[in-house]
A and B are shown apart, each in its own frame.
Chain A
Amino acid sequence: MNVANTSYPVNRTENVPDHSLVPPCQDACPLHMDIREYVGLVSQGRIMEALQVIRTGNPFPSICAYVCTHPCEDACRRSQVDKPIAIRSLKRFAVEFGGDRMVQAEAETTHAEKVAIVGSGPAGLACAYYLKKFGYPVTVLEAHSELGGMLRVGIPQYRLPREVLDIEVKRLTRMGVEIRTDTRVVSLDLLFELGYKAIFITIGAHQSLRMGIEGEESPGVIDGATFLREVNLGLKPSLGRKVAVVGGGNVAIDAARTAIRLGVKKVSILYRRTRAEMPADPAEIEQALEEGIDIRYLVTPTKVKRENKRLNVTCIKMKLGKPDESGRQRPVPVKGSKFSEQIDTLIAAIGQAPQTPDDFGVRIGKGSTIQVDPNTLTTNRAGVFAGGDAVTGPATVTEALAAGRLAALRIVDYLQHRYPLPVKEAKEKLSGDLLPETIEMIKKIERAEPPSLASEVRARDFEPIELVYSWEQAINEARRCLRCGVGVEILFQDKCATCLTCLRVCPYHVPHLDASGAICIPADQCQACGICVAECPAKAIVLRKPFDRRQVNDELSHAIKSAAELKNKPLIIGFCCQYGLFGTGTLADLWRGAGAGVSIVPVLCVAKVEASHILSAFETGAEGVFIAGCGEQCARENTTYWVQQRVAKVRKVLGSIGLEPERLQVFALGTTTEDPVEELDKFVEQIGSLRLASVIKGEVKS
């Protein structure tokens, strides 16, 4: 026999580049994180690798895992089917189970140009992290006694535990970032004189906006940012028994929930519009309501008067009028609806603005923000960059991190006298909604919310309220991902015989004929199940990602290589789905529990195992082959059916060359009542006896 010389056909897919599209989640993320990739890794139980992907795209994933406002989830197309993937909770799971706290960041200083970062909020810390990684000496200057900016003084501890922030700060220190707290910068010239070659201003937006009503200066009226800062820095302001918070943003909600945790009996939020217009995160609003906070809509205070050590607040009811420039309906006072109320403290949280010292000499624009070039973050002064809330006005942590990263890249360009190259999007974006006929066929799987503390427990103190998924919960949640943009394409139009097989086998009705009679597989509808790839008689269809195209072959040859050392034992090859149940540990159990001589080829859904793969497994000397899928639990449609079709085809071949068809088995381990390990043991035993029989037969013949 001469297998070694066999000339296999040239694999035309080998040098085809990555044709996957940028999914909506990634596009929506200010940091442009590869969300689809890490959610996919979580669904396979590959948590360390998921964390690696997360860390590549995010300097402080643990912080984001707590406080990100997850624009990715808002963009998630799964919401067209049922509910979006719980991306932030999955990230939280990955950083906790992957051990993000233990990750060591190292950096060497390879350049001499010093960079000063004014402000240590998320933008400043991110900029410091990346500049240090690029080898620049960095100094972070912070006016307060502790680092973190809004992360420390703005966000309440129940949303972001301080040890998470401390770990990140420690990591930066270990990387060699110089940190100077209690240092308020008043002049940039001084910094340049001290030898800093570039400065990044990221002083945040800490100055609360005034309500502009009578009596605003009275004792007992405090602004939201100041209140949160005091509490977060360890003070315990006395608030009395009854507190009202004015505003509808996240700061208002944070202030109200902080107040209730300080023991205030009655906390209400006064908001001049309705819940639909409230800019705060809906989940936070929900949690605030659960904690007993009273939100009063269409109400605004008009006058505050201090009487008998209490506040007499006059309010007026509002109604929604015509839309204003922000597109929201403008609230209009209802005549004669004034009413008064006695409270102890009024917290005004109606917005914040940056406060930049005049001596910085940077140009200030609308809303007291620093004016910069949005692509380079340069200000009007040479070598001075700015970013974060100081430039955008109050925004999110993730946006600030993105600004910090951009600043680091641009500062490096500046220091190396390079013209900043425009960031070119290498990949096409996936756009378009799912079609109704596709949505109808997608299995509805409920979104699993991570556990959280009960509302009555959590309102007592500042313990973090959101808990982490269990292993199985996280994996099942991650499996819901539709894998937008990594579907299939007809790579070889010249090979396509327009046989319509893809159109007929697709469970989601995605392929269709265009007016000229050519088959189209729209990328925005494909669910990447891979059935058509295996069924295409012309082999014209491939998965868009090179990794996905090679996966089964690569894993198979790996399994064969590692099994090569086993001798005198029935070699069994099992194609096992790595998603779902197998990711939750069943696969690992199989691995450990399997008798000697069983090699497992992990595949990303058994629907991608082609008849040829099964034959190849036998060809390498396997005495038995099994395919184990998730059965009913598979997140995709019809996968078991197609596996059975291919198995039937291979069994026919086995029969005609004198091998028993029982050597090939299918297990739907997701549904079986039997213990998978036991079932597998039975199969191993059976193969052992078949092999013995064939050896005897062979000897009798000779």
Chain B
Amino acid sequence: MIVAEQKPLEDIIRMIVPYERVLILGCGTCMTVCDAGGEREVSFLHNALQLAQARSGEGAHTFSEHTVKRQCDPEFLEALGEKTADVDVILSLGCGIGVQAIAEYLPDMPVLPGVNTSFMGMTKESGVWDERCAACGECRLEDTGGICPITRCTKGILNGPCAGVKNGKCEANKDMDCAWILIYQRLERLQQLDKMRRYYPPRNFRAIPRPRRIMSKAETVTGESNG
């Protein structure tokens, strides 16, 4: 899941200054799950912006709110319909992908990001999310017992642990487990400690051509007759 956190209220207030009618648009998928932009957060932000405006006596915004099932698919954006007719800007509480999907879908409508998209992660407990994947495009979890050293080691090293480990914790943060100790312990449980003995060559940091694209459908040559 994509994890994000709402931008500080001050930033949002600053962003919307040029616009009068603001539609706060939530996303019903990842942003709902990570408490950053679901329907509840949308209406909370709505209240907060109105309160800020009432207290400061500055600005003459009118706000409206709506939440779509998922901002990153244009079909869901169709449900917006007339809701965008009377607004000057959309304040999206979707992740960075959602913001861009809206920009693409509504070419004449300015879109503002209301959240800082942060990482891909999992729920640790209610209200706590941890990063687990860096989307490096070259997954090595087979060799590391299902624990990712790229995200969970501060240095992201491939042949750990480094000398900075102390009592199983990282030198950068003594509350943080050393990913490589975790990897060692798990491989030991799985009786795959031989994987620790291997040397992994440095990652290939050549620039990955962006943007990446994945196609799961077969490409057919246009004009070719299918029968």
Contacts and interface: CB of A to CB of B under 8 A. Distances in A.
B48 A615 contact: yes
B177 to A, nearest CB: 23
Contacts of B65: 8-9
A500 B8 contact: no
B60 A2 contact: yes
Given A500-B123, A539-B39, A612-B44, A653 B51 contact: yes
Nearest to A613: B47
Contact of B33 (A495, A537, A658): A537
**Chain A, interface residues (CB within 8 Å), range:** 35 or more
A504 interface: yes
A512 to B, nearest CB: 16
A9 B9 CA distance: 21
Given A497-B38, A537-B32, A504 B126 contact: yes
Given A2-B60, A497-B33, A658 B40 contact: no
A494 B68 CA distance: 11
Interface in B43-62: 43-44, 47-48, 50-57, 59-62
A214 to B, nearest CB: 77
B78 interface: no
Interface residues of B, number: 39
A657 B64 contact: no
A621 B64 CA distance: 21
A8 B43 CA distance: 9
Contacts of A494: 69
A657 B55 contact: yes
A615 B9 CA distance: 14
A164 B40 CA distance: 54
A537 B57 contact: no
A84 B40 CA distance: 38
A578 to B, nearest CB: 24
A1 B20 CA distance: 10
Contacts of A500: 123
A621 B57 CA distance: 12
B35 A537 contact: yes
Interface string A600-640: 00000000001110011011010000000000000000000
B142 interface: no
Contacts of A536: 40
A616 B67 CA distance: 20
B123 to A, nearest CB: 7
Interface in A645-659: 645, 649, 653, 656-659
Contacts of B33: 497, 499, 537
Nearest to B11: A656
Interface in A426-485: none
A612 B47 contact: yes
Given A505-B126, A537-B38, A611 B44 contact: yes
Contacts of A653: 9, 48, 51
A140 B144 CA distance: 90
A656 B44 contact: no
Interface in A1-43: 1-3, 5-9
A3 B50 contact: yes
B8 A1 contact: no
Interface of A: 1-3, 5-9, 494-495, 497, 499-501, 504-505, 536-539, 610-612, 615-616, 618-619, 621, 645, 649, 653, 656-659
Given A537-B41, A612-B40, A612-B43, 14 more contacts: A7-B62, A499-B38, A501-B126, A505-B126, A537-B40, A539-B43, A615-B51, A619-B54, A645-B127, A653-B51, A656-B10, A657-B13, A657-B52, A658-B55
Closest 4 CB pairs of A and B: A537-B38, A615-B47, A499-B33, A504-B126
